[in-house]
Structure formats: C-alpha cells, structure tokens
C-alpha cells in the first residue's frame, strides 16, 4: 500500500507540473500572437526635426503650415541654419531631411553608401533668385558682373558695404564665392550678418549698403513685414549674361525661368529614410501640386510642375 501511495503521489506531482507548463506555454504563445505595435512615424503622423537653409525660411514655413493643416497629426519642427550645418545634421542623424541650395556631391554619396548601404534621395524642388537689394535712397539700381566682382573682392576700405547672411558656410556665401569670385575670398568690405532679417535691417538703414537675400524674403506682398521692408529697400537689376549688351534684369519668375536674371540657384530637398516616414512624406509633398503651387506663389520657379508664370514688378 505504501508503494501504491508513493506512485499515486508522484503521478499527481507530474500532472501538476505538466499542467503548469502547458498554461505557461499557452500564455507565452498568446503574447507572441499579439500584433506588434509600429511606433515609427509615417507621412500622416509623428514628430521629426528638419534642417533648412535659413535663406529659404519664408517659403518653407508656408510649406510646413500647409502640411500641418493637411495632416494634423504630423509635427515637423524646422531648424533654420547655414547650409554647412544642415549637412552636418544629416550626416550626424539629428535630422532626416534637409532643404539647401545644392544636392549631394560625389564624396557625400560615397560616404552614405559606405555608412548606410543606400544613398539619400534628393531632387530640385524649385529655383530661387539670390536677390541683390539696395537702400531706396541709393543712386545705384543696376549692377554689372564686373561691378559686383569688384565690390565683393575689394581689398581697400570703402564707404560701400556688402552684407551677406553669415560669415561663412551659408548657401549665399558659397554661391557668391563660386559664381562671381570663382573660389576667391571676400574683400574687407563684405560683412556677415547673423541672418537674412539682419541683412534687410542693415540695408534698410544704410544708403551705402547693398545685401543679398533669398527672393522669398521680399516677394510676399501679403506679409506686412515684407511690405514694410519694400518701403525702405528695393531689388536691384543685374546684368543679363545671355542678352544683348546693356540689358539688365530684375529678379522675377519670368526672368529666372528664362535665365535672364543670372543670380538664381536651385532649392534641393534631401531625405535620409529607408522607409515611408514623415520625412519622406514632406519630401514628396514639396514636389506635389500643392507644394509646387506654394513655391510659385512665393515667386520662386517650381521645378517639378509647370504653372503659368506672370511678370511681377518688384518696386
């Protein structure tokens, strides 16, 4: 009887252990069967930071405003800085999309291929005029390329001041050095302001100053601040390089698209995402009909869609 009791007791223990194991296994299986939650952002929702060249700030703010209205669960936080800092942010993973005045060069493409095994997408979204502005009291309203070159590289002190939106590494500085000075350094009369509004303020209060800003800083007539600036400053005409001798052009959509106004540059968007996230959503929005229309209304020339271009006299 004692043997039978021990066998019975052992059998109960085995059944208990097996039962517990089955319950645990079933519970584990149910947990595994639960659908995984994807917490990644999407084109419709999420929060990300983007880096934007400061000279494009007004038009990109309009793009972001429309995107947030269209997708209210999205939150794109834009930081405005120099072109060089935007590229550093992209390489350092602090942002997934940047808006600057150029695409990726060969060394940058090679770097991303080695680091990520893919290359960030990039494309031209619009064309922007680098607008030369003067004080309304200035007697100079038209400039040849030779005059611009002389003003930018002059090594002798002068009453004339040339104001740009930073000391170095901005898209404006890079463009002027590459396109007009062909790699040379600025002269002593070129001064770096903190940003584009600072350029506008300096030129507005100094008849001897000229400055360079992106066209969207003075092209929105519905903006009270820009309308107030246009009472103190005016866009200057630049010598047309493809026209006959003595022909000058003002920055406008028609003169940019025809290349009569020579100081124009691309607006690039670069996105570093290997899935369809919020960065890709905004990247695609910029080339959509609504995104391109916003560029057009800001007096830039859309690059991905054609709209009727009207001549605008910026006085």
Domain residue ranges of the chain, discontinuous segments joined by +? 46-127+265-302, 128-257
Pair 21, 27: CB distance under 8 Å: no
How far apart, in Å, do the first and last CA atoms of the chain sit? Answer: 114
Which residue positions in the chain have pLDDT lower than 50? 1-8, 10-37, 309, 312, 314-315
pLDDT for the residue numbered 172: 93
Sheet holding 248-249, edge to edge: 142-143, 237-239, 248-249
Residue 82 pLDDT = 94
3-state secondary structure of 301: strand
Long-range contacts formed by 175-180: CB under 8 A, 24+ apart: 175/101, 175/130, 175/263, 175/265, 176/130, 176/152, 176/212, 179/263, 180/145, 180/148, 180/149, 180/152
Reference 236, options 251, 252, 218, 221; nearest CA is: 251
Domain at 128-257, CATH class: alpha beta
Residue 223, Cβ density class (10 Å: 0-12 exposed, 13-18 middle, ≥19 buried): middle
Q: Which of 159, 286, 230 is nearest to 213 (CA)?
A: 230
H/E stretch holding 100 reads strand 97-100
Integer angstrom CA distances of residue 130 from 11, 20, 84, 101: 89, 75, 18, 11
Give the integer Cα–Cα distance in Å for 288 and 143.
Answer: 37
Q: What is the pTM of this model?
A: 0.84
DSSP-assigned beta bridge partners for residue 98? 51, 270
Residue 190 tokens, joined = 């070129």
Query: Which positions ≥6 away from 166 have C-beta within 8 Å?
Result: 54, 82, 172, 173, 192, 193, 194, 195
Q: So what's the pLDDT on residue 245?
A: 86
Summary mean pLDDT of the chain:
87
What pLDDT was estimated at residue 8?
45
For residue 219, which of 135, 113, 294, 280 has the smallest C-alpha distance?
294
Query: What's the pLDDT score for residue 6?
Result: 47
pLDDT at residue 315, as a whole number:
45
46-127+265-302 matches 128-257 in fold? yes
Give the ranges where the chain is alpha helix by DSSP (H). 2-33, 57-70, 83-91, 106-116, 145-153, 171-179, 196-205, 224-229, 253-257, 278-286, 289-297
Class of domain 46-127+265-302 as given by CATH: alpha beta
Give the position of tokens 């429309």.
66
Q: What is the pLDDT of residue 224?
A: 86
């Amino acid at each position: 009887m004692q043997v039978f009791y021990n066998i019975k007791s052992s059998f109960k223990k085995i059944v208990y252990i097996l039962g517990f194991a089955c319950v645990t296994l079933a519970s584990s299986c149910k947990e595994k069967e639960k659908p995984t939650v994807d917490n990644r952002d999407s084109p419709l929702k999420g929060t990300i930071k983007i880096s934007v060249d400061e000279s494009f700030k007004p038009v990109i703010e309009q793009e972001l405003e429309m995107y947030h209205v269209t997708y209210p669960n999205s939150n794109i936080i834009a930081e405005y800085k120099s072109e060089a800092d935007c590229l550093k942010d992209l390489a350092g993973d602090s942002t997934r999309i940047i808006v600057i005045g150029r695409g990726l060069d060969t060394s940058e493409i090679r770097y991303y291929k080695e680091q990520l095994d893919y290359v960030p997408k990039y494309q031209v979204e619009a064309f922007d005029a680098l607008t030369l502005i003067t004080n309304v009291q200035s007697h100079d309203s038209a400039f040849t390329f030779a005059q611009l070159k002389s003003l930018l590289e002059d090594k002798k002190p002068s009453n004339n001041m040339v104001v740009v939106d930073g000391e170095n590494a901005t898209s404006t500085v890079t463009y002027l050095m590459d396109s007009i000075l062909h790699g040379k350094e600025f002269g002593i009369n070129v001064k770096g302001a903190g940003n584009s509004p600072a350029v506008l303020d300096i030129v507005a209060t100094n008849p001897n100053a000229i400055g360079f800003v992106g066209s969207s800083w003075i092209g929105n007539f519905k903006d009270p601040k820009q309308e107030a600036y246009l009472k103190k400053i005016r866009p200057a005409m630049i010598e047309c390089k493809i026209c006959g001798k003595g022909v000058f052009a003002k920055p406008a959509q028609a003169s940019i698209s025809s290349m009569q106004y020579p100081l124009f540059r691309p607006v690039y968007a670069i996105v570093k995402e290997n899935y369809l996230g919020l960065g890709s959503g905004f990247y695609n929005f910029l080339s959509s009909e609504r995104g391109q229309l916003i560029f057009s209304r800001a007096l830039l020339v859309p690059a991905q869609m054609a709209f009727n271009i009207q001549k605008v006299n910026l006085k």
